[in-house]
Each structure stands twice: as C-alpha cells, then as structure tokens.
C-alpha cells in the first residue's frame, strides 16, 4: 500500500493540474490554493517515502504491461533526495508566483503547466525504467517550452523554441543511446542492468541528452536565453527542476546503474571544468541580472557534474548536497532578481544601485543565497563545494581541483559584483519598495533555508551518503 | 569552585558550547542592548570577561577531546583543547576583553552599533571554533565563516562605498579557497582529516602543493602579501574599531596559529628546501614593502595598516627558518604584534575622534593634547621596532637570530625592514610631538567622548608591552614556550646585549636620517607627509599610488581580460545556435524544395533513401 504513495506523488500534481484551468475559471483563489496543494502533495509523497529510503527498504511498485514490458517506481535514497529537493523549492516558487504572476494573462495555463512539470519531475526521479524516464523527460521539455514562451511575444517564443529544440534533440539522441543499451541487454529496466558495462558510443549519446538538459557547455546556450521567461519560471527551470534532471540522470545511470569506460571519469570532469570556467567568465561581463544568474547556474552545474563524475563516495555526496544547496540558493537568487525586475522594470544592472536601502529584505535574502552559492560557511554551499573538491582530489586529479578552485574564485567575484551593482552604491531608484509580502517572504524563506541547511547539514548528508550504498 | 568550573569546562561538549555558541548569544544580547549605553558597555565587559574565564578554565583543564554526535559526511565534528590551542584561546580572550570594551565605547550611538557587536562576537566564536577544531574541514568552516562577519562589518556605514568590502571578500575569499584545496590535499595525503592524527606529512609532490596552499591560506587570513591590499583601504573606510579587531588581532592570531601547526605538526618541514626559501623571501618582501609603504603614507590609520602588513613578514621570516628559535620568535612576535598593533589602531581611533581626522599633517602636536595616547603610541612603536626593554625586542631578536642561522642575507634584509619601520614611526612621532603653530591652527576639534573606555584598553596594552619586555623570560619560556610545547630557555637578557646594541644603533640611525633629511628642503618627507620624493622613485611611487602594484587591481585586470575572451566564446556559441544552424536548416530546406519537382521518380528516390537510412540506424543500434 505504501508504494502507492509514490504514484500519488506523481499523479496528483500531474493529473490534478488538468483541473486547474477549470477551477481557475470559477475561482482564482481556489485555483491558487489547489496549485499549492498539488505541489505540496509531491513534497508530502517524498516525505512519506523518506523512512523507507533511510532504512534501506525503499517503497517500490512495478507494473507488467503487454509485450513483456514493464515499468515501475521506487523511492530509494537518490530518488527521495531529488524529489524532496525539487518539490520543496518548487513549493516556495509557486507561493512566490501568487504574488508575481497575478497581473499577467494565461495564469490558468501557467499553474497547470507548473504542476505538470513538477509531476513529471517526480515521475522521472521515481522511475525504474529507461522509457519511463524518457517519457517524463520529454513532458518536462514540453512544459519548459510553454513556460519560457509564457509572454507569447516574438522574442519569448523564439527563445522557447530554442530551448525546446536543443533539449528535445538532446533527448532524442539520448533515446538512441537507450535503444543501444536495449540492444545489448534486452531490457529497459534499470535494476536488470545494474553493473552492466555499456558501450562507449551509447554513453556518448546519453551524455548528449544529459548535457543538453543540464545546460553544459557547449549545449548550454538555451539557458541564459530562457531568462526572457517570468522569474518564477526561470527559477523553476534553472534552479529547482529542469537543469537538475540532467545531473540526476547522470547519477542514476552512470553512477548507480551502468559501468562505463574509465576514460569517462576524466572526460566528463574536463567537460565540466570547461563549462564552469567559460560560463563564470561570461557571468563576470554580463549586465542582465537574470543572465548573470543563469551563467552562474551553468557554472555551478559543472561543479555538480564534477562531484558526481569523480567516481568516489565523497564526490557523489558532495554532488548531491550541491544539488540541494544550489536548488535552494539559486532559486532564491532568481526570485530576488524577479522582485528587482518586477519593481524596476529593467534587468540592466548598470541602471540599478542602492536597492539595499529601499528593499532590505530582498537584499538580505539575495546576500544569503549568494553566500551559499559562493560556498561560504555557515551556508550549505560550503559543505557541498568542499566535498566536491575533496572528491576530485581523492580521485587523484589535483590540477582539475585547482581549476575548479579558480571557478569558485570567479563565483565569488561575479556574485559580489552583481550584489554591489544592484543593492549597494548610490541609489538610482529611491522611491521603489519591496515586492509583495508573499514574494519577499518566499525569498527570505529560501535564504534562511540556505542557512539552516548549512547549520543542520548532517540531516541531508545522512540521506545523501546512503546513495553510495545503492551502487 | 575553580576546580568545579575547570571540571565543567573539560566535560563533553561543554567547552565547544561555551566557546562557540555562547559568544553568538552574547552578540545577540549586545544587539538587544544597543540603545542602552550603560547596559551595552557592562554587557560587553561581562560577556568578554566570562569568555576569558572560560578560556582560562580550558587552559587549566589540559588535553581534552570531544566529538559532537551530529557530524555530516566528511565533517566529523572533532574538537580538542591542548597546550598550543589553549594558549591561543586565552590570549584571544584576553585581547578580546579589551577589544570588546573599547568597541562598546567606540561604536555606541552609531546606527550599526548592535549589528557591529553581533558580528564581533560571532567572529570571536569563529576564532574560538577554529582554534578548538581537531578536524581540518571543521576548522575551515570556522575559519572561512569569518568572511561573512568581516564583509558585514566593512559594509556597515559604507553601503554607498562598498569597494573595500568587495576587495576584502575577494582577497580573503581567494586565500580561503586556496586553503580549502590545501586542506583537502593534506587530508587525502594523511588519509584522515583529524588534526591530532596527522603528523609530519612529507612536503614533497602533492604534499608540497598542500603545504604551500596551507601557508598561503594562513598568510591570507593574517593579511600578508599578496592578500594584504584590502587592509589599508579598510583603514580609510571601515569603522576604526574594525581595524583593531580583524587585521590587528583575529586575523593574525589565526594565521600564526595555523602556520605554526603546519610547520611543527602537520608537515615535515625543512627550511633548506625550496619551500623554506620561498617563505622567507615572501616574508622579507612583505617586511620591506609594508614598511616602505608605511613610510609613504599621509594618514595615520593607513600607516598602521601597512605596519601591520609589514610585521607579518617577520612572522613568515621566523616560520621559514623552521628552527625552534624561529618558532618561539613567531609565537612571541604574534603576541607582541597583536598587542601593539591593536593598541595603535585604538590610538588612531582616539585621535580620529578628537581631531576629526587621522591625516598626519593635521594632527601635529597632538601629543600635547593627548599625552596618554602619545605615550602609548611611543611604547607600541618602540616595541614594534624592537627597541630594547619592550616585548617586541625579544621576539625580533629570536626571529632575526634564527634568520641569521639560516642565511646572513635574511638577517640583513630583516634589519633593513626594521630600519624602514623605525623611519615610518619616527615620521609620525615628529608629527605627534612636533609640528608648527600654523598647522595647529587648522585643527578641527570635536567633542571627544568615551575617553575612559578607549584609553583604558590602550593603556593596558601599553603596560603589557612594557611588562612583557621586563619579564620576558617568564613570557617567552614559561608561558609561550611550555604552552606550545617548545621547552627552551630563550627568553631573558642573556645573549641579548649584542642584539640590543644593534637595535639601538638602527633606531639611532633612523632618527639621525630623519633629522638630517627634514632639514634639507625638498627632502624625502616632512611632518606633513607631503614629500618630495627622490626623482628616480617618483614614477614608481605614482604607479603605486595609482594602485598599479595592487594585487587586487592586477587580479581584476586579468579576470576582466579572461572574461572578455569567455564572452567572445559565448557569442560564438550563440551565433552557431541562433544564426548558423537555423541558416543551414533553411538552406537545406531550400535545396530540398528545389529537389522536389513533383515527379514520381523523385518521390520514390526520397522514400527509398529515407527507408534505408532508418534501417541503417536500427541496424547500428541492434548490432
């Protein structure tokens, strides 16, 4: 019976979302409440699966379908960790949306797509089957396309198309890789393929999909452009859900399930290093607040990929904690950027300054999230960054660790630059005020969460360290 | 009762809570009392006093280890109190008592007073935590955590001029990240992150990299070159109390503590190798550069900031020797430097409050108006330049003796650094006790508040400076030597006559040079600080004043250049996605459109090619 909680955690947001437009036509407040409940149900589902994951007896369910095929869901440590992270941050983002999105058209569609998106994410992380993973993957791409093009103007649609084409093309190439694995093993079930050594060409094809989804150089270009979307959307895509799908798939497939050539433990970190450094450099010169944060996402995702790919427990735990720390902190940064943009009607940081005086709560929340992304204690990012660097040094690659330290230095520099340009210095908009209470409360909640996660890092760390046992 | 207290402190995690969590609570208490003058000051005194009592309790408790039950993966919360850490802990607490009282008087009434004290006490918690940590990662947690409070204090009252805060964050952030890498390499090499289980890792191969990074991290925390450039800027922008606390005390304490541990415990360090030479050369460059810059300064606070940087060079010089005398010297030197430099910054704050400026040319003759401050200044300055009788003399002597054993060049260069430092102090001393009447007329006198709270710590520090010279044997051998496990007999006056003579000669030469030069028109410097420098140095000087040699500016220029390249690459990639690929698709579409002429044969060819293509893909996949 308990295993059905997983299905509920997927289907409630996924199918419940279809009702939202109808509820919205009758009562806007009811629709908002329903959207919150749907997202909360995903978090509640993950929370219910937590004891099983911690005890090593995860909730699992499996269905046989015609043609000898099957699919199933499991709530193991990795799945629950990802589900809790994504659904928690998504919940805050939806709360924030209540204040942000209320002036725009297409709200019914917005909430519906967001809930479908979160349901797809839940489905993806719990899935035990490659085809199911691919299906949810593509649902998320569709949602991403609609959400990036939310404003429906020409530029938004063009950028949405770009994101859609890149991620879907990547996914299709990945599907060919899945077919290749099927050709070798005769199954799509992950459990049946555990420990199987897969050919390098399939790894390359799957990596194509993963790197396009997790916006890794040179397949990253869609991510900064996706900043045309409303801020809750960018936060959802760039911080909490979409980009984490790629790194999750990496952990699920290449860390836990398959065995690959050793060369990939060198190649992937090098790709990550290039991605981290180039995007950090670009962030330092960028003047669009959301693009700076987007480049930062690309750079930080490379740290996550590095942790997951260095082939030892320390790196894996570091990478997973990084996913959590980054989701919370980067979600907060995007939402703060949203408040600033929403209030000032510009994204150009050269026109901003001194906002800490008029928007102190947003400034404090932004600073807290930025410190976490920089990896400064006591914020959660510190622990994650430390473990990732330790993981790569344990794998014997000190030079690569040094490259990532350079990336971390760049992170400090571009985020410090962003903060002073926006919140410090002479005031350029003396008459502006904070965002709505619900928006400022949301960003403050994420900032405080980043701090609390650091002070109580042993809690997520316990779950993350169980993932190594799944191998 | 004392025994009961010592027993309480040595049990379980009591000492961790008392030394790390309680100071933060005290910080909040100070924040609550930020508008009540008496309570604010009493709370500062009482809380810092309790912290000192707790530190003494731990000092008496001996070697105690504790592990907290809630450890995260890779961050085992191990703590240990033993000889060296308890010695540093007590010293930190003693200095903090003076700093807390001084800060309470200095910042009370300011808008940021409560927040400042919260940051100050949180910093104390971080320093205590770093000293107590027995795990490299946990130590880094506390160590790097100070970045938040440091940046926060620098931003107080400076939100419109945040450059110094960003500079400090960047430079300290870099050194902390280097330290992180060094710690990781060290713990991987030692196969444990528990400090008490790490012993004399060979400083070769990866170990050499780890060693170098640990030293660089410690140098960064202590404000040594090349991470120093934010300190003089902070002297101009930050609250004066900040300078006494961070560059003056906390940074130095942590930096010296970790350098000592790295050289004596963690790595098997030998001064004969490249590492030793590099550390000593870096130390000498720091000594001479800092002292030379101090000589050029027109502002008292900036001058003291450069003196602080310069003095850390002596620590590196002593550490680089790796000799017992050098290690004793750097420990003793750290104590004396913290006392003297903290005292100097307190005096500069008092002067600033009195005259509304710390610009040297505007405070000429302040010695007559503030005789106590002037006497304290003289004591601190003489101690720093190693004038016999004061504590600084003995630490300088130990360091220079160790340097002479390693190589006479280091000794001579060290003397040159002291000579320049003496020149800088004499320049300021002339301003304090000299000056002309016209300049006195331009003073902007302000109501001076908080005299007792600011003067008392300065007087106590000055007395400590003098006392540590008089009872040097007690301090160097009994307290520092035994506390740090360096059982030597290096204190006292025996064998000190020759160094004393050398020191006095140096000071006399500096004094003579200063008097000689000041009598020549257009000379190196007059009391106003408006120098007419030697023609050959003027270009260098202008470049230095423009920040051309500032490591931060050089770094920013390099990062800017690198970012331009990255931006160009990024534009190239975007062009491929936005222009090249859509263009190619469009062109391909047009070609296919032209190919489609409506004839059946063409459709058949297309259908066959497509089918073959699909089969080919499946064949490849299934094979």
Residue A417: list chain B partners with CB under 8 A: 166
Q: Which of A35-44, A152-161, B283-292, B518-527 has the lowest mean pLDDT?
A: B518-527
- Put simply, whether B580 touches A (Cβ < 8 Å) is no
Nearest Cα of chain A lies from the Cα of B469 at a distance, in angstroms, of 40
Q: Is the ipTM of this complex over 0.95?
A: no
- Put simply, whether B621 touches A (Cβ < 8 Å) is yes
CA dihedral sign, ordered A73, A76, A82, A85: positive
pLDDT for B9: 65
Question: Rounded to whole angstroms, how far apart are CA atoms B97 and B464?
Answer: 14
Residue A228: list chain B partners with CB under 8 A: none
Residues 6+ apart with CB under 8 A from A162: A221, A222, A225, B577, B578
Please tell me which residue of chain A has the smallest CA distance to B622: A183
Contact A425 B160 (CB under 8 A): yes
Q: How many Cβ contacts (< 8 angstroms) between chains A and B?
A: 153
Closest partner CB to B559 (pick from A278, A357, A413): A413
Contact A412 B174 (CB under 8 A): yes
Q: How confident is the model at residue B527 (pLDDT cuts 50, 70, 90)?
A: very low
| Residues B215-272: tens digit of each pLDDT | 999 999 888 888 888 888 888 888 777 888 888 788 889 999 999 888 888 888 777 7
Nearest Cα of chain A lies from the Cα of B306 at a distance, in angstroms, of 25
- Put simply, whether A68 touches B (Cβ < 8 Å) is no
How would DSSP label each residue in B487-499?
-----SSTT-HHH
pLDDT for B5: 65
Question: Rounded to whole angstroms, how far apart are CA atoms B250 and B241?
Answer: 13
Closest partner CB to A371 (pick from B75, B148, B155): B148
pLDDT at B102 over 90: no
Contact B188 A402 (CB under 8 A): no
Question: Rounded to whole angstroms, how far apart are CA atoms A415 and A283?
Answer: 9
| Residues A454-468: tens digit of each pLDDT | 999 989 998 888 888
Query: Which residue, among A304, A349, A339, has the nearest Cα to A81 in the 3D structure?
Result: A304
Structure tokens at A230: 């409303």
Please tell me which residue of chain B has the smallest CA distance to A412: B170
Please tell me which residue of chain B has the smallest CA distance to A363: B159
Contact B147 A376 (CB under 8 A): yes
Structure tokens at B53: 């009592």
pLDDT at B450 over 50: no
Contact B173 A409 (CB under 8 A): yes
Question: Rounded to whole angstroms, how far apart are CA atoms B570 and B567?
Answer: 5
Interfacial B residues in 65-84 facing A (CB < 8 Å): 70-75
Contact B573 A217 (CB under 8 A): yes
pLDDT at B491 over 70: no
Q: How confident is the model at residue B482 (pLDDT cuts 50, 70, 90)?
A: low
Which region holds residue B423: left if phi is over 0, alpha if psi is between -120 and 50, else beta? Answer: alpha
pLDDT for B445: 47
- Put simply, whether A358 touches B (Cβ < 8 Å) is no
Average pLDDT (B112-117) is: 90
Q: Which helix (H) or strand (E) holds A206?
A: helix A200-213
Contact B577 A221 (CB under 8 A): yes
- Put simply, whether B551 touches A (Cβ < 8 Å) is no
Interfacial B residues in 196-235 facing A (CB < 8 Å): 206, 209
pLDDT for B484: 64
A250 vs B548, higher pLDDT: A250
- Put simply, whether B148 touches A (Cβ < 8 Å) is yes
| Residues B421-449: tens digit of each pLDDT | 988 888 888 877 765 544 444 444 444 43
- Put simply, whether B53 touches A (Cβ < 8 Å) is no
- Put simply, whether A465 touches B (Cβ < 8 Å) is yes
> What per-residue string of b and e applies to B424-458 under the rule 16 or more CB within 10 Å gives b?
bbbbbbbbbbebeeebeeebeeeeeebeebbbbbb
Residue A394: list chain B partners with CB under 8 A: 188
Nearest Cα of chain A lies from the Cα of B597 at a distance, in angstroms, of 29
**Contact yes or no for A290/A330 (Cβ under 8 A):** no
Query: What pTM did the predictor assign?
Result: 0.90
- For the ranges B3-7, B408-412, B485-489, the maximum mean pLDDT occurs at B408-412
Residues 6+ apart with CB under 8 A from B505: none
Contact A398 B185 (CB under 8 A): yes
Q: How many residues does chain B have?
A: 623
| Residues B536-555: tens digit of each pLDDT | 457 777 777 777 788 888 99
Contact A377 B144 (CB under 8 A): yes
pLDDT for B486: 61
Please tell me which residue of chain A has the smallest CA distance to B205: A398
Angle subtended by helix axes B391-406 and B324-355, to nearest 10? 140
Query: Which residue, among A136, A12, A81, has the nearest Cα to A384 in the 3D structure?
Result: A81
- Put simply, whether B487 touches A (Cβ < 8 Å) is no
Please tell me which residue of chain B has the smallest CA distance to A165: B577
Closest partner CB to B72 (pick from A282, A405, A458): A458
Please give the C-alpha separations between residue A69 and each of A4, A189, A191, B366, in angstroms, as whole numbers.
Answer: 20, 9, 14, 91
Residue B622: list chain A partners with CB under 8 A: 183
- Put simply, whether A464 touches B (Cβ < 8 Å) is yes
Interfacial B residues in 349-408 facing A (CB < 8 Å): none
- Put simply, whether B619 touches A (Cβ < 8 Å) is no
Q: How confident is the model at residue A86 (pLDDT cuts 50, 70, 90)?
A: very high
pLDDT for A441: 94
Residue with the two structure tokens 């302000």: B446
**Contact yes or no for A221/B574 (Cβ under 8 A):** yes
| Residues B152-181: tens digit of each pLDDT | 888 887 777 888 888 999 999 999 999 999
Interfacial A residues in 293-322 facing B (CB < 8 Å): 314, 317-318
Contact B70 A382 (CB under 8 A): no
Q: Which helix (H) or strand (E) holds A295?
A: helix A289-309
Q: Which of B20, B24, B70, B73 to mutate to test the interface with A (most CBs of A within 10 A)?
A: B73
* Residue A60 DSSP SS3: strand
Q: Which helix (H) or strand (E) holds B608?
A: helix B600-622
Please tell me which residue of chain B has the smallest CA distance to A286: B567
pLDDT mean across residues, chain B = 83
Residue B559: list chain A partners with CB under 8 A: 281, 284, 410, 413
Closest partner CB to A413 (pick from B159, B160, B170): B170
| Residues A194-209: tens digit of each pLDDT | 888 999 999 999 999 9
B441 vs B559, higher pLDDT: B559
pLDDT at B520 over 80: no
Interfacial A residues in 168-187 facing B (CB < 8 Å): 176, 179-180, 183
Q: Which of B67, B153, B160, B177 to mutate to test the interface with A (most CBs of A within 10 A)?
A: B177
Contact B173 A461 (CB under 8 A): no
Pairing of strands B201-202, B267-268: parallel
Closest partner CB to B144 (pick from A225, A382, A390): A382
Contact B577 A166 (CB under 8 A): yes
Residue B173: list chain A partners with CB under 8 A: 374, 376, 409, 412
- Put simply, whether B159 touches A (Cβ < 8 Å) is yes
pLDDT for B439: 46
Please give the C-alpha separations between residue B252 and each of A195, B374, B496, B506, in angstroms, as whole numbers.
Answer: 53, 25, 26, 26
Backbone angles phi, psi at B123, to 5 degrees: -65, -40
Residue B163: list chain A partners with CB under 8 A: 420
Nearest Cα of chain B lies from the Cα of A68 at a distance, in angstroms, of 18
pLDDT for B525: 47
Average pLDDT (A78-105) is: 91
């Amino acid at each position: 019976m308990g295993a059905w909680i997983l299905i509920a955690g997927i289907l409630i947001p996924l199918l419940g979302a279809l009702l939202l437009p109808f509820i919205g036509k009758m009562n806007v407040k009811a629709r908002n409440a329903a959207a919150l409940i749907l997202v909360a149900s995903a978090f509640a589902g993950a929370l219910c699966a937590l004891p099983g994951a911690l005890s090593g007896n995860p909730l699992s369910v499996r269905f046989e379908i015609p043609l000898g095929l099957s699919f199933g869901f499991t709530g193991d440590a990795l799945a629950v960790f990802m589900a809790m992270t994504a659904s928690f941050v998504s919940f805050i983002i939806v709360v924030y949306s209540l204040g942000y999105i209320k002036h725009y058209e297409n709200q019914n569609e917005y909430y519906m797509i967001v809930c479908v998106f979160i349901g797809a994410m839940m489905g993806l992380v719990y899935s035990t089957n490659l085809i199911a993973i691919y299906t949810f993957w593509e649902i998320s791409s569709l949602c991403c396309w609609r959400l990036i093009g939310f404003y429906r103007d020409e530029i938004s649609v063009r950028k949405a198309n770009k994101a859609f084409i890149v991620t879907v093309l990547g996914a299709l190439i990945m599907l060919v890789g899945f077919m290749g694995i099927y050709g070798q093993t005769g199954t799509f079930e992950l459990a049946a393929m555990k420990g199987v050594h897969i050919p390098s060409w399939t790894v390359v094809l799957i990596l194509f999909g993963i790197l396009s989804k997790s916006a890794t150089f040179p397949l990253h270009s869609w991510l900064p452009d996706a900043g045309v979307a409303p801020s809750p959307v960018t936060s959802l895509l760039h911080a909490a859900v979409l980009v984490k799908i790629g790194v999750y798939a990496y952990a699920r497939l290449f860390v836990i399930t398959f065995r690959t050539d050793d060369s990939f433990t060198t190649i992937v970190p090098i790709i990550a290093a290039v991605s981290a450094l180039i995007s950090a450099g670009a962030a330092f010169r960028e003047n669009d607040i959301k693009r700076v944060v987007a480049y930062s996402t690309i750079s930080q995702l490379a740290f996550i990929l590095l942790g997951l790919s260095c082939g030892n427990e320390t790196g894996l735990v570091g990478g997973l904690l990084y996913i959590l720390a980054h989701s919370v902190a980067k979600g907060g940064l995007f939402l703060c950027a949203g408040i600033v943009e929403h209030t000032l009607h510009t994204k150009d940081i050269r026109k901003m300054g001194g906002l800490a005086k008029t928007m102190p709560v947003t400034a404090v929340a932004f600073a807290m999230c930025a410190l976490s992304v920089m990896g400064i204690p006591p914020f959660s990012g510190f622990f994650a960054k430390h473990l990732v660097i330790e993981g790569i040094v344990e794998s014997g690659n000190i030079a690569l660790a040094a490259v990532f330290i350079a990336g971390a230095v760049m992170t400090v520099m571009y985020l410090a630059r962003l903060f002073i340009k926006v919140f410090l210095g002479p005031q350029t908009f003396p008459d502006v005020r904070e965002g709505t209470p619900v928006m400022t409360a949301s960003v403050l909640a994420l900032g405080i969460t980043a701090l609390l996660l650091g002070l109580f890092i042993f809690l997520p760390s316990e779950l993350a360290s169980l993932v190594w046992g799944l191998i | 009762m004392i025994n009961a207290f010592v027993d309480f402190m040595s049990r379980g995690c009591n000492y961790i809570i008392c030394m790390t969590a309680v100071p933060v609570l005290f910080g909040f208490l100070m924040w609550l009392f930020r508008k009540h003058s008496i309570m604010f000051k009493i709370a500062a005194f009482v809380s810092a006093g309790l912290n000192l009592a707790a530190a003494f309790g731990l000092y008496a408790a001996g070697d105690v280890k504790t592990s907290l039950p809630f450890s995260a993966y890779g961050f085992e919360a191990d703590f240990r109190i033993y000889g060296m850490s308890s010695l540093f802990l007590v010293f930190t607490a003693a200095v903090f008592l003076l700093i807390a009282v001084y800060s309470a008087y200095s910042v009370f009434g300011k808008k940021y007073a409560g927040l400042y004290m919260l940051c100050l006490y949180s910093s104390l918690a971080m320093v205590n935590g770093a000293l107590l940590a027995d795990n490299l990662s946990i130590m880094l947690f506390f160590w790097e955590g100070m970045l938040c409070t440091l940046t926060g204090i620098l931003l107080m009252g400076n939100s419109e001029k945040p450059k110094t805060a960003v500079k400090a964050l960047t430079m300290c952030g870099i050194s902390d990240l280097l330290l992180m890498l060094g710690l990781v390499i060290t713990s991987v090499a030692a196969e444990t992150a528990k400090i008490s289980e790490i012993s004399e890792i060979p400083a070769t191969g990866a170990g050499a990299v780890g060693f170098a990074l640990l030293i660089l991290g410690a140098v960064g925390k202590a404000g040594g070159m090349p991470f120093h450039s934010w300190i003089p800027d902070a002297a101009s922008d930050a609250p004066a109390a900040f300078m006494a606390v961070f560059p003056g005390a906390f940074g130095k304490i942590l930096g010296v503590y970790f350098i000592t541990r790295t050289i004596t415990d963690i790595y098997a360090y030998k001064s004969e190798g490249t590492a030793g030479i590099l550390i000593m050369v870096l130390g000498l460059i720091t000594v001479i550069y800092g002292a030379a810059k101090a000589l050029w300064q027109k502002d008292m606070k900036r001058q003291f900031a450069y003196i602080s940087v310069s003095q850390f060079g002596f620590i590196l010089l002593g550490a680089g020797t790796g000799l017992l005398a050098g290690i004793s010297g750097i420990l003793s030197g750290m104590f004396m430097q913290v006392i003297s430099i903290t005292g100097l910054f307190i005096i500069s704050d008092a002067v600033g409050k009195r005259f509304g400026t710390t610009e040297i040319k505007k405070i000429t003759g302040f010695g007559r108006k503030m005789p106590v401050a002037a006497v304290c200044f003289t004591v601190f300055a003489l101690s720093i330049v190693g004038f016999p009788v004061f504590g600084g003399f003995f630490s300088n002597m130990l360091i220079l003796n160790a340097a002479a054993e390693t190589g006479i060049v280091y000794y001579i260069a060290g003397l040159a650094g002291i000579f320049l430092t003496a020149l800088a102090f004499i320049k300021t001393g002339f301003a304090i006790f000299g000056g002309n009447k016209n300049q006195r007329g331009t003073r902007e006198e302000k109501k001076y508040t908080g005299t007792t709270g600011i003067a008392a710590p300065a007087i106590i520090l000055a007395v400590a400076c003098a006392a540590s010279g008089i009872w040097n044997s007690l301090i160097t051998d009994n307290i520092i030597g035994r506390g740090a496990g360096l059982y030597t007999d290096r204190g006292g006056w025996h064998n000190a006559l020759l160094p004393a003579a050398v020191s006095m000669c140096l000071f006399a030469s500096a004094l003579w040079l200063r008097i000689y030069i000041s009598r020549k028109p257009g000379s190196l410097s007059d009391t106003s600080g408006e120098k007419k420098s030697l023609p050959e140095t003027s270009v260098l000087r202008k470049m230095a004043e423009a920040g051309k040699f500032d490591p931060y500016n050089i770094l920013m220029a390099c990062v800017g250049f690198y970012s331009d390249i990255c931006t160009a690459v990024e534009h190239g990639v975007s062009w491929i996605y936005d222009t090249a690929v859509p263009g190619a698709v469009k062109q391909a579409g047009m070609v296919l459109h032209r190919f489609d002429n409506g004839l059946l044969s063409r459709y058949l060819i297309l259908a066959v090619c497509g089918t073959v293509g699909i089969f080919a893909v499946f064949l490849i996949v299934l094979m």
